């Protein structure tokens, strides 16, 4: 069932990882593998709902981080719910995750806007969502069951939105510019699978930059990794990838730049054959009996 704006049922990128490998940043920079032009098709971003591929653009302007940003134009052709989405499930390594991004909508009396996190990409059930009303800029947020009105926002002004989803205690929290506007129960659907930037193309668009995906439950893992508890070599790699870690390896998973799982190995083998992989950039996730780690690897 495809999603409908404000209904109840509605990557891996070449990313910049934080030093502790717990936060993935998407800021549409050249260093992340993005190029100026249509965002559709870049790093796993996909348009839906009849949205013209020329509407979402990576532009060398309007940036809050770096020099590029994502700008959604509007030509008033669709006049129904549409948008651009990305599978980020490969970036989520634990039960608790925080998604933040900078967002600016152009004006009121035009399009409705929505920023959604979906449980999957089959039925597109909400895990969490924010919306901005075309009437007066009222920000709404989805609690466990429905949308509730929050503060009124000003058009053409940057805001930082943060969504904290904790499966460990089934809680959900929303922040605007660092201030919590809601804290309560997480609904029926709890996975973080797809992020989606939605509008209905009524003549006004929006801008997005500095998307951060942070795995809250594994913050201590980064401190261990920083001390050299996990080493992958050689990098770049041609045939055999060696994994050195103090813990017992439970599994190794490799994801391509689109966020698709291309290889998984179970057991304590510390050498992984990657000779069958195409040349490119990959994320390698190593799960041990002590922690989980993510490393970027180049296959040559």
* Ordered per-residue pLDDT tens for the chain, 300 residues: 334 443 333 333 333 333 343 889 999 999 999 999 999 999 999 999 999 999 999 999 999 999 999 999 999 999 999 999 999 999 998 899 999 999 999 999 999 999 999 999 888 999 999 999 999 999 999 999 999 999 999 999 999 999 999 999 999 999 999 999 999 999 999 999 999 999 999 999 999 999 999 998 544 333 333 334 678 889 889 999 988 887 788 888 888 766 678 888 887 678 889 999 998 888 888 888 777 778 888 888
Which residues are paired to 83 by β-bridges?
A: 48, 198
Backbone φ and ψ for 7, nearest 5 degrees, come out as: -85, 170
Nearest one of 10, 45, 12, 11 to 208, comparing CA atoms: 45
CB atoms within 10 A of CB 231: 13
Residue 257: per-residue pLDDT: 66
Task: Report the pLDDT value the prediction gives residue 217, as an integer from 0 to 100.
Answer: 59
| CA separation for the pair 21, 284 (Å, rounded) | 11
**Please, what are the domains in the chain?**
16-219 (2.60.120.200), 228-299 (2.60.40.3080)
Give me the pLDDT at residue 3, please: 44
Residue 75: how many CB atoms within 10 A of its CB? 11
Asked whether 154 and 192 are in contact (CB, 8 A), the reply is no
| Structure confidence at residue 267 (pLDDT) | 74
Alpha-carbon span 172 to 184, nearest angstrom = 6
What's the CA gap between 13 and 281, in Å, rounded? 9
Question: What number of residues does the chain have?
Answer: 300
3 state DSSP class of 216: helix
CB 151 within 8 A of CB 139: yes
């Amino acid at each position: 069932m495809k999603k409908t704006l404000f209904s109840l049922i509605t990557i891996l990128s070449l990313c910049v990882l934080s030093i502790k490998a717990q936060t993935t940043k998407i800021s549409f920079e050249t260093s992340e593998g993005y190029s100026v032009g249509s965002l559709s098709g870049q790093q796993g971003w996909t348009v839906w709902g009849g949205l013209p591929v020329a509407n979402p653009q990576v532009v060398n302007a309007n940036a809050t981080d770096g020099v590029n940003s994502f700008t959604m134009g509007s030509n008033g052709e669709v006049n129904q719910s549409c948008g651009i989405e990305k599978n980020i499930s490969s970036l989520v390594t634990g039960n608790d995750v925080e998604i933040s991004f900078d967002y600016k909508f152009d004006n009121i009396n035009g399009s409705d806007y929505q920023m959604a996190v979906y449980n999957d990409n089959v039925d597109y059930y909400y895990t969490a969502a924010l919306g901005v009303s075309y009437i007066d800029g009222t920000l709404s947020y989805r609690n466990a069951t429905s949308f509730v009105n929050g503060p009124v926002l000003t058009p053409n002004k940057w805001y930082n939105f943060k969504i904290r989803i904790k499966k460990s205690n089934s809680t959900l929290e929303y922040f605007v510019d660092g201030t919590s506007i809601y804290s309560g129960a997480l609904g029926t659907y709890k996975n973080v699978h797809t992020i989606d930037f939605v509008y209905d193309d009524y003549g006004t668009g929006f801008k997005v930059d500095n998307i951060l995906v942070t795995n809250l439950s594994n913050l201590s893992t980064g401190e261990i990794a920083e001390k050299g508890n996990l080493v992958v070599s050689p990098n770049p790699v041609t045939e055999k990838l060696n994994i050195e870690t103090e813990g017992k390896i439970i599994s190794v998973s490799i994801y391509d730049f689109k966020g698709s799982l291309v290889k998984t190995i179970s057991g304590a083998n510390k050498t992984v054959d990657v000779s069958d992989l195409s040349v490119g950039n990959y994320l390698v996730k190593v799960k041990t009996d002590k922690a989980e780690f993510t490393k970027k690897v180049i296959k040559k």
